[in-house]
């Protein structure tokens, strides 16, 4: 057998081993619960309240990320300014620090004993054990996914198109909303989905800031905390159906993201 063939064979064995390592636990868990068991779990008040609260909070955090993050991503893609490299580095920090530490850091800023927390409390917004706390925790840990995707989207837009629009009399606002944003929207959308999915899976930062919160009259916790609570209190069997539901939702988001990415490549 040739040396090149041996290398290919070794790579195939190692690669398939890694693929099985990733897919094995997910498939095992999904097929370990019947549809009836999943339906029964989904109809439990604590479960559907947790899923709805998690989806709502992650969506709210994503909207805030779009409003404040897209302008920053455009600046990073198009402008050179002092401390640009520092800002680019800051964006990725939430990805690398432990998220329980992120929760503590947020508590030192938005807690009611500190200046920002007092300001928002004066406005009637409290972040400790409230839905607002869940949202800022999700926003902090997941915003890098949206910022980086949006920046790459704007960087892929041909600058000459924007310059032509300006020479034809378009204002900077018109150029942004009619040229830059429409051409970068797929990247922004895929980044938004990634941000939503990452926010919905957050555990550590939310645990520190908002363990149980009042969600439209019902006290609920985010789904990752619900899964951990069930496992710690009642064991593997009780946590399994909820975990399977969470994985199914995550897989749907992943499939949607891959479809969008494929459309972007073929465009």
Average pLDDT over residues 140-154: 93
Q: Work out the number of other CB atoms within 10 angstroms of the CB of residue 252.
A: 11
Q: Work out the number of other CB atoms within 10 angstroms of the CB of residue 187.
A: 24
- pLDDT of residue 31 exceeding 90: no
**CA 172 to each of CA 10, 19, 82, 151, 181: distance values in angstroms, whole numbers, following the listed order:** 55, 47, 22, 18, 12
Dihedrals phi, psi of 76, to nearest 5 degrees:
-65, -30
**DSSP one-letter code for 1:** -
Percent of the chain with pLDDT over 70: 96
Contact between residue 202 and residue 102 where contact means Cβ atoms under 8 Å apart = no
pLDDT at res. 263: 64
Identify the three-state secondary structure at position 214.
strand
Write out the H or E segment, with its range, that includes residue 239.
helix 236-266
Burial class (CB in 10 A: 0-12, 13-18, 19+), 158: exposed
Contact between residue 230 and residue 239 where contact means Cβ atoms under 8 Å apart = yes
pLDDT at res. 141: 93
Q: Work out the number of other CB atoms within 10 angstroms of the CB of residue 188.
A: 21
Average pLDDT over residues 98-124: 86
The size of the chain, in residues, is: 267
pLDDT at res. 35: 81
For the chain, strand residue ranges (E) read 213-215, 218-220
**CA 117 to each of CA 107, 149, 204, 208: distance values in angstroms, whole numbers, following the listed order:** 9, 31, 20, 15
Which sign does the torsion angle of CA 179, 181, 184, 186 carry?
Answer: negative
Using CA atoms, how far apart are residues 196 and 55, in angstroms rounded to an integer? 8
pLDDT at res. 131: 92
What's the pLDDT band for 239 if we cut at 50, 70, 90? Answer: confident
């Amino acid at each position: 057998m040739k040396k090149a063939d041996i290398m290919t064979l070794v790579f195939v064995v190692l690669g398939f081993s890694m693929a099985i390592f990733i897919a094995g636990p997910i498939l095992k868990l999904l097929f370990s619960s019947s549809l009836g068991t999943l339906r029964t779990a989904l109809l439990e008040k604590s479960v559907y309240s947790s899923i709805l609260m998690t989806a709502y909070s992650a969506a709210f955090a994503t909207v805030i990320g779009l409003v404040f993050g897209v302008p920053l991503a455009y600046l990073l893609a198009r402008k050179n300014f002092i401390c640009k490299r520092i800002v680019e580095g800051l964006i990725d920090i939430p990805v690398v620090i432990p998220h329980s530490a992120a929760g503590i850091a947020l508590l030192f800023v938005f807690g009611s004993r500190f200046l920002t927390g007092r300001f928002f409390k004066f406005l009637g917004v409290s972040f400790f054990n409230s839905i607002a706390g869940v949202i800022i925790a999700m926003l902090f840990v997941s915003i890098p996914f949206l910022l980086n995707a949006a920046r790459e989207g704007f960087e892929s837009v041909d600058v000459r198109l924007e310059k032509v629009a300006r020479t034809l009399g378009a204002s900077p606002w018109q150029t942004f909303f009619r040229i830059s944003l429409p051409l970068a929207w797929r990247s922004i959308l895929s980044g938004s989905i990634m941000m939503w999915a990452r926010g919905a899976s957050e555990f550590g930062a939310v645990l520190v800031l908002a363990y149980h919160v009042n969600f439209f009259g019902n006290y609920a916790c985010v789904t990752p905390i619900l899964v951990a609570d069930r496992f710690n209190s009642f064991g593997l069997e009780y946590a399994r159906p909820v975990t399977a539901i969470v994985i199914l939702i995550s897989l749907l988001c992943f499939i949607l993201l891959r479809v969008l990415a494929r459309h972007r490549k073929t465009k």
